[in-house]
Amino acid sequence: MKKRIYILIVCLFALSWSAAGQTKDKFVVVIDAGHGGEDPGAIANRQKEKDINLAVALKLGKKIRQNCSDARVIYTRSKDVFVTLKERANIANKAKADLFISIHTNAAGNTSANGTETYVFTPDRGQAENREIAKRENSVIYLEDDYSTSYQGYDPNSPESGIILDFVQDKYMEQSIHFASLVQEQFRVLAHRPDRSVRQANFLVLRQATMPRILVEVGYVTNPADAAYLAKDASRDKLAESIYKAFVSYKDETLRKRQSGHSTTVADNGTTAQASAGVVYKIQLMASKKKLTGKAPEFKGLSPVSYYEENNMYKYTYGESPRREDMLAELPKVKRLFKDAFIVAFKNGVKVK
Ligand SMILES: [Zn+2]
């Protein structure tokens, strides 16, 4: 019986892979500029969110079109028009996109809040702070007449809304978190933006899309310094360049894996990733006073390596998964290179016990 299931999985896997190989040669990315038309998004400091989002989205798309002949760019909007959240996800689903990038600008009652954050979807309600942001971004559905049927009863103002959504195992979680981390790294390193880390929240636009997908918040219009930064064309270009750099790494990795016949959407044993909300596991390798680059010999060839800062030290980690078992499986290999390596957990980008 077990063997039969195994064969079935292998067949399905082979089928879907060969189908993908035949119909797809280019990496398809859908770029979604949040809000538009009658929906301005957040407004503060003489800035409208919809304009910032569109400018960054178009710059990102242009960079990809100019430099990546192996990628195809689709915009959910390229002008100042209203598009429903559902339609945005539909565009990506119909195009069988490999990646969905939704670009937004943040707002908060606390005007000192600043910096960038990148979200992946979670079907549960998420952390209180993240929940507020998702609620604000989701509230656009009130502009649609039939929102309660379109979104299966989702009401952004109902406290229960997050949990009435059916729990669907999200097999794209790992890749989404991985891409989100690449984006946050570039925002920090290339654009020098304060890093508010990778987070999880219940964004409707992400919920309905069926591929690795993220939502970036490129800064806070409600913060005077962020608003002044976001108003500049050069800053918008830096933000687009950051997402572009992360995109190229992710695309190249994905295409390489596809060519070698591997896929990371579903683990080889046929299970899908089972994520505890907001928690990712990594293997800590070493700590150093020095800030090292990803290719540093100190990492002994391990990649991807990331770091976090603690007690004035850079602490370097390898790998990343929402499943602790994945990292446990990697640990013996890593321990051969770093004998003191151990697993660390992060919740919404913050180290936890
Ligand atoms: Zn928004």
Q: Which residues pair with 303 in a beta bridge?
A: none
Question: What pLDDT was estimated at residue 291?
Answer: 77
* Domains detected in the chain: 2-259 (3.40.630.40), 279-352 (3.30.70.1070)
Q: How far is the CA of 142 from the centre of ligand 1 (A)?
A: 14
What pLDDT, on the 0 to 100 scale, is given for residue 350?
Answer: 73
Residues with CB under 5 A from ligand 1 (ion): 34, 41, 104, 137
Residue 305 or residue 209, greater confidence: 209
Whole-number pLDDT of residue 185: 95
Q: Looking at per-residue confidence, does 297 or 167 come out higher?
A: 297
CA–centroid distance, 105 to ligand 1, in Å, is: 5
- Ligand 1 centroid to 196 CA: how many Å? 16
The mean pLDDT of 290-299, rounded to a whole number, is 78
From the CA of 166, how far away is ligand 1's center (Å)?
24
Comparison of pLDDT for 197 and 272, the residue scoring more: 197
Sign of torsion over alpha carbons 53, 55, 57, 60: negative
Mean predicted confidence (pLDDT) in 294-302:
80
Span from the CA of 86 to the centroid of ligand 1 (angstroms): 15
DSSP 65-116: HHH-TTEEEEES-SSS----HHHHHHHHHHTT-SEEEEEEEE--SSTT--SE
Compute the distance from residue 314 Cα to the ligand 1 centre, in Å.
33
CA of 98 to the centre of ligand 1 (A): 22
Whether the predicted pLDDT of 166 surpasses 70: no
**Count of C-beta atoms within a 10 Å radius of residue 345:** 15
- pLDDT of amino acid 123: 72
What is the CA(246)–ligand 1 centre distance, in A? 21
Cβ 225 vs Cβ 161: under 8 Å: no
Q: Note the pLDDT of residue 302.
A: 84
Report how far ligand 1's centroid is from the alpha carbon of 217 (Å). Answer: 8
- How many whole angstroms from 205 Cα to the centroid of ligand 1? 11
Give residue 40 CA to ligand 1 midpoint distance, Å.
Answer: 9
Q: Residue 94 CA to chain centroid, in angstroms?
A: 20
Average pLDDT, rounded, for the chain = 82
d(CA 88, CA 92) in angstroms, rounded, equals 7
- From ligand 1's centre to the CA of 31, what distance in Å? 14
CA-closest candidate to residue 139, choices 113, 158, 125, 160: 158
Q: Is the pLDDT of residue 267 over 70?
A: no
Q: How far is the CA of 347 from the centre of ligand 1 (A)?
A: 23
pLDDT band at 19 (very low <50, low <70, confident <90, very high): very low
Distance 272 CA to ligand 1 centre (A): 30
DSSP state of 122: -
Average pLDDT, stretch 3-10? Answer: 58
Ligand 1 centroid from CA 187, angstroms? 18
pLDDT tens digits for range 110-164: 999 999 999 998 776 666 777 788 888 887 777 766 666 666 556 665 544 433 3
For the whole model, what pTM was predicted?
A: 0.65
Span 26-75, pLDDT tens digits: 999 999 999 999 999 999 999 999 999 999 999 999 999 999 999 999 99
In angstroms, the CA 25 to CA 111 distance is 46
Cα of 114 vs centre of ligand 1, distance in Å, is: 15
Q: What is the pLDDT of residue 163?
A: 35
Strand locations in 235-325, DSSP E?
279-288, 305-310, 313-321
**pLDDT score of 82 more than 70:** yes
